[in-house]
Amino acid sequence: MQRLRQIVCAGLCRYYKPDKIEPVGCGGLEWLKVRPALQAALAGLRPQPGGQLFGLRDDDPRLWAICNQCGFRVDGCDFRDPAVPASQCAPCGGLRAVAGLLAAGQELEL
């Protein structure tokens, strides 16, 4: 889990605070946590500036599948809050990590 948090939270999440680790992570982190075989591919992700979701659309149903099982979605996620303009929010690292895997051609059951 330590390595996963390093890659996903420290590496990809703009909300990451090293002194405030939540016991339960976002939907993406929890989904990835039980799929350790994906960690090597995650470590190879190279995000580009401006490419928050590695080229995937915000409304990609595979990404919604992650958000729909996230404990922060209803109360705690600006990115999936329709009241927050897109220019004022960003996806979390867990969602970005899953998007990066999908964009790299990984077949994920979502």
Instruction: Please give the residue ranges that form the binding site for ligand SF4 (CB under 6 A).
Output: 26-28, 66-67, 70, 72-73, 77, 79-80, 91-92, 94-95
Closest CB to ligand SF4 among residues 45, 66:
66
Closest CB to ligand SF4 among residues 4, 67:
67
Residue 29 C-beta: closest distance to ligand SF4, Å:
8
Residue 105 C-beta: closest distance to ligand SF4, Å:
21
Closest CB to ligand SF4 among residues 27, 100:
27
Residue 84 C-beta: closest distance to ligand SF4, Å:
11
- Taking CA 82 as the corner, what is the angle to CA 64 and CA 76, rounded to the nearest 5 degrees? 75
